Each structure stands twice: as structure tokens, then as C-alpha cells.
Structure 1
Amino acid sequence: MIVKKGVSGVIKIGPDLYKNVKIDNMKFCDELGRGGFGKVSKGVLGKNVLAVKKIEFERQKEDFDMEKKAFICMELMATCLEKLYKNHLKPQKTTFPECILAKITISVVNGLRYLYDEHKIIHRDLKPNNVLVGHDGKFKLSDFGIAGKVIKSRSNSPKPQRCQIYCSPLNSIHAECDARSDIWSLGITLAELALQKHPYKTEYNNSCTFSSTMGILCQMSVGPPPPLPEMYSSEFHEFVYKCLEKDFFLRPEYRELSKSLWFQNYVVYDADLALWLHNVLEHSQQL
């Protein structure tokens, strides 16, 4: 829910119900992250700790009748996939087990497919930083700031700022308006988790300059698919490369991805994700 300064609100966290919530009464502590639309911090409300995203609005007209700040209160998760591999797995000199990558994939595909099939919404900004994991081992999508409804005419569609190095090559005029743009981002995300770096970044373009970004985009558009670690199965390789099909019309949709052998093998696979995450985080504290 959104709680605006000076306006009462209601927040329900498990069995706890808070009424007449005002943002001034919430205590803020550590910053969890920030992006183009605001920053996320830990907020304490009673005995509960939340993730609170603060969004700043620019007043463009004198009659702009809206608060300049908005606060979105969300469930506090353990971490995101980017921080998980950068801050925990890499220092431990370990990687994502394939079964964990599969469970991440199943959760993300099911979430994206629900959005698209039921609401005709595409995420537009899927990347490791926007997939969260909780201490219970459940994965959730976050940051829908530039998500959009699928419409027939691309000329009328919004053109938000996105993280370009996760975007699908636009070799079709319909590419921005179809779920297959999110499927490309899924492929980049899985390749990054397997490689523990963006698959198209090299020692020569690892910075965030304009020229390095353009180099990455050029590789994504015309270069071969990135090599994946041999420790992962050929079925995993095949799944990722299907997602990274450059031709928009040949790229599979969610129904086809869900029927793939790799996906189906792990749908019934029993993996204790909560225990795996607990062991990873606990080992990090001991380093």
C-alpha cells in the first residue's frame, strides 16, 4: 500500500493490523538499496520491520495536486539475487546449485506468466536486483515502477527508462509490447547468476560508461550467445539459449518454456530452499 505524509493509512503484517499509520511515526534505519525511482530503507513499525520505498515526485505544474513524496511499505525480504551472489556466494567461492537456479526460474516464470495471462502486464525491468528471496526460501518479483499494460500499438506505448543491458534487442516493432521481452531478460538474469557476472561484460567494458554500455548492447544484438559454465547441464544451457533467441518471433513464450524438459524435471524436484539460504547466509557471517 502507499502511505502519504500526513494521510492516515492501514497496514496489515501477518496477524498485526495497524490503523491511522503516519509516516512520521515510523522509524527508519538501514538503507537497503536505491534506483531511478527512489530508495528503499528498513522501517520499524511496532514490533515489525518493513521495507519502505520512498519515491520523490517532481512538481511540474502549480496545480499539481499531489504530495511530493510517497512511501510504499512492503514485506522485508532477506536479499536480492544480485546481492546474494555478489556478497555471499562469490566470497565463499561457491555458485548457485542447478536445482536452486531451476526453482528461481520456476517462480519467476510463473509470476511473469500470471501477470501477462491474467492482467496483460509485462515487467520491463527484470534483472537479478529485482528478484528477491525471503528467509522462507520463496522468490518474489519486485520493482514494478515501469511495468506496463500490453497494447496493440507500439506508438502509443510508454517508453520508460530501463536498464538497457538487460533489455531485449529490438529487432521487431512489437518487441517492447510482448512478454517475450521479459523472457530475454530472464535469459540474461539466469546467465548472470550462473556466471556470477553480466554475461556480456568483459574486462574491457565492465564500467558503466556510455561507450561500455554501447559495447554490451552491440554484443547482445549481433554477437553469439554467452558461454555458460560446463558444471550446469545441457538442458539448462538449452533453456537459457532459448530465452536469448535474438529473433523476437522465434523466442519462446511462457507456455513453451514451461513445457521444456529442464523446467519440467525441476517442477517436481524437492529442494529445501530455506535451508540452503540459511546455510549460505550463516557461512557468510563466519567469514
Structure 2
Amino acid sequence: MASHGEPHNRKDALDPISQSEWEKDPFNLNSCLKLQDIRLEGVGSRARVFSVTHHHHDSPGDVLKNAKPRVCLKIITASFGDTAEHNLEVLRKNVLGVIKVWRNLEHPNINPIYGWTLDPTSNDSHFCFVSQFCPNYNVSRYLRKHPDADREKIVCEVAKGLRYLHDEANIVHGDVKPNNVLISDEGIAMLSDFGQAEILDRAPQNLQDAGRFLTIEYWPPEVFSTEDADYPLQRSKSGDVWAFGCTLLEVSYPEFFLQKMANPVL
């Protein structure tokens, strides 16, 4: 895929004060990604995913030293307001904090994050998470290609990652589902998209519009226990556990799970 230009050429998209702050940020990886080797890996309703090679020696603090040759760029494209300026402001205020938290997570079943960059594929000034690239993609795609994979092992690894988030890091994931379980080169299941879930909390979320941001099949039942359409969705550890149970069913018994989603009364 051809290069779309260096993202730091569009740094004027940030206001002067924030521009200086972001340029000095230790997780700013704008200068060390080889954009001539960027590949589109997937497109969703809230994000686009690319993989790209990198110059780890040019990364701040050599944060990419232990990264594999290709890293993942996940571009947040969800809208947080009526204007592009407001959308950028929300992301700018929240991306750095999320990355700092995510960077401190260290567990074999949590997908590691390295930093951030600006969207190298457009002039929209979206922010990207830079994380470990998993060529096996998410568990749903992996199981379609490898139907005889050890599903019990996958579920146990997801459970270990979630337990680490809850018990050791005291973090709510907020969007546990098979699409957010990645499979590494070594076949290890890793929870991902913690940062995206946190940022989407800043978006308008109520029972009327939350479907833009979350997957209804994995919502806990208490979300539907209110008649107030403006009731704010609350991410919780118990909600994560419910979503993990749904993920367990889908991974272990995919035909039953899909049938239940099509016929909720079952």
C-alpha cells in the first residue's frame, strides 16, 4: 500500500499549546513508523486497523525495542460530537491518559500498547493506538481458519487476562467480546481494546445511541432494567464477567450462541 504521507506533517491540526505538549509526549511514535509499508487489515464501524513496520531505534525511549517487526495502528473513527473540532478535542484530552494506564499493564494475556500516532491515511487528524500486531487477528477469525484449535485453552487465557485487569490492575475493560480477543503468533489469546473502551466512555452513551459504541449481544441484563432512555451506561466488573460468559459460549459453542442471539427467548 502506498504511503499517505508522514503524519507529523499534519501536526498543525493541534492548537499551539497542545501541539508542544503532544510533540514532547514520550509515547508519540509519529517519527518511527515506515508508512511506505502500511497495510489495511480491517475496517469496522468505530475504527480502521492497519499494520506497519517501524524503526525501533527512533522510538522515544526505545519503546519499540521488543516489538515485532510489524505493529498495529488502530484508528478511532467514532464521532464524539457534531463537529470535527469537538471530536479532536475529546480524543486529545483522553488518549494520553488511557495510553499511560495501558502501558503499565503487563500480562501475557493483555495485548501490549506502545504509544500513539496521528492517522497517516487521511487528513482527518484522528488518533491511532500503536499496539502489538497479531496476524492471526481476533479469535472469531482464528477459529474459522483453525476450527480444531484448543477452545478451552483460549477461554482460560481470556479469563486470566480479565482476572488480571480486575484483581491486580483494578480496571474495568468495558467491551469484552470475541472481536476484542486477539491471537498472537504463538497462539496465545490476549484481551485488547481496553483503551478504545475507555475513550468511548467520553462519547454520548445512553440506551438510545449506545449501540453505536458497544455490541448489544454482550451487554449485561441490568442495562435493560431501566425505562429511562437517558440512563447512562455504566461499565463494571460484573458487566465484564457477563460479557466474558457470552464470549465463553461463542468460543466454545458457536452454533448455540448464534442461535440464542437470533432467538433471545431460548
When the two structures are superposed, what TM-score results if normalisation uses the length of structure 2? 0.55
- Give SS of 2:245's match: helix
Check if 1:118 corresponds to 2:190. no
Question: How many residues get paired?
Answer: 186
The answer to whether the Cα contact below 8 Å between 1:131 and 1:140 also exists between their aligned partners in 2 is yes
Aligned residue for 1:49?
70
1:188 partner letter: C
Post-superposition Cα deviations, 1:11-30, rounded to whole Å, max 9, x if no partner, equal 7xxxxxxx974277533433
Q: Residues 155 and 251 of structure 2 are in contact (CA less than 8 Å); yes or no, is this contact kept in structure 1?
A: no
- Percent identity, aligned pairs only, is 21
Pair 1:9–1:177, CA change in 2 (3 A):
closer
Q: Counterpart of 2:84 in structure 1: which amino acid?
A: R
Give 1:69's match in structure 2, choosing from 95, 106, 126.
126
What's 2:61 paired with? none
| Match in the other structure for 2:135 | 78
The separation in 2 between residues aligned to 1:62 and 1:179, in whole angstroms, is: 28
Structure 1 residues 164 and 33 mapped into 2: Cα distance closer, same or farther (>3 Å)? same
Q: 2: CA distance between counterparts of 1:186 and 1:122? A: 12
1:187 aligns with 2:237: no
- Mapped partners of 2:88, 2:50: distance in 1: 30
2:34–2:55 contact (8 Å) kept in structure 1: no
The one-letter amino acid of 2:178's match is P
Q: Report the Cα offset of residue 8 of structure 1.
A: 6.8
Determine helix, strand or coil for the equivalent of 1:137.
coil
Q: Which runs of 5+ in 1 are unaligned?
A: 12-18, 149-154, 203-214, 225-287
RMSD between aligned residues:
4.1
Q: Distance in 2 between matches of 1:28 and 1:54?
A: 17
User: Does 2:217 correspond to 1:165?
Assistant: yes
Q: Distance in 1 between matches of 2:44 and 2:153?
A: 26
1:51: how far off? 1.0
State the shift of 1:128 in Å. Answer: 1.3
**1:130 and 1:142 in contact (8 A); partners too:** yes
Gap runs ≥5 in structure 2 = 1-5, 12-22, 57-68, 93-117, 119-124, 200-205, 227-231
Number of the residue aligned with 1:35: 44
**Greater percentage in helix:** 2
**Counterpart Cα distance in 1 of 2:87 and 2:218:** 37
TM-score scaled to structure 1, two decimals? 0.51
Displacement, 1:103?
2.2
